[in-house]
Amino acid sequence: MHELSIAQNIIQIVNSSVEQDKLALVDKINLKIGLLSNVLKESLLFSYKSITENTALENSSLNIEILPIKIECNNCSESSTTNDFIFNCPICKSNSISVVGGDELIISSIQLKTKAAEK
């Protein structure tokens, strides 16, 4: 359900990052989303498409990279990643771990088309 408000936040950030007269040139918005951020990719894509219809951003789309959960073991100090929501060290099996990544929800970059007239 909260993907709609996340889509609205994305639009606000794009609006404040890209000059107003270049909004229509926005092509792809590259996002990094960690597995622990509880964001459903399909739902976010749908929300974004729905609320950009008939706006300057209507030809833009989201490009979502899903990031794994990153774990550091407090026992053996090894780093590892998991896509399975298993919070054990895969090396020594200790459950004394720190989650050091996987809750990202970041706009990493915005791709703009070049207007022929501006070349």
Partner 1 sequence: MSVMIVERKVLEKNDQIASELRKKFQTKGIFVINLLSSPGSGKTSLIERTAEQLKDKINISVIVGDVQTDNDAKRIGSLNIPVVQIITNGACHLDAQLIKDAFDKIEQEKIDLLIIENVGNLVCPAGYDLGEDKKVVLLSTTEGDDKPLKYPAMFRNSSVLIINKTDLIPYVDASVKEIENNATSINSSIKIFKVSCKTSEGIEDWCNWLLIQIKK
Q: How many CB atoms lie within 10 A of CB 57?
A: 20
Rounded Cα distance, 68 and 66, in Å: 7
Whether the Cβ atoms of residue 78 and residue 92 lie closer than 8 Å to each other: yes
- Binding mask of the shown chain, residues 25 to 44, with x at each position contacting partner 1 by CB under 8 A: --x---x----xxxx-----
- Binding mask of the shown chain, residues 83 to 112, with x at each position contacting partner 1 by CB under 8 A: --xxxx------xxx-x---x-xxxxxxxx
Query: Is residue 113 involved in binding partner 1 (CB under 8 A)?
Result: yes
Query: Is residue 45 involved in binding partner 1 (CB under 8 A)?
Result: no
Provide φ and ψ at 59, rounded to 5°: -95, 5
Query: Is residue 66 involved in binding partner 1 (CB under 8 A)?
Result: no
Query: Is residue 65 involved in binding partner 1 (CB under 8 A)?
Result: no
Rounded Cα distance, 8 and 104, in Å: 17
Within 8 A by CB and 6+ apart from 77, the residues are none
Positions that interact with partner 1 (CB under 8 A): 1-2, 5-6, 9-10, 12-13, 17-18, 27, 31, 36-39, 85-88, 95-97, 99, 103, 105-114
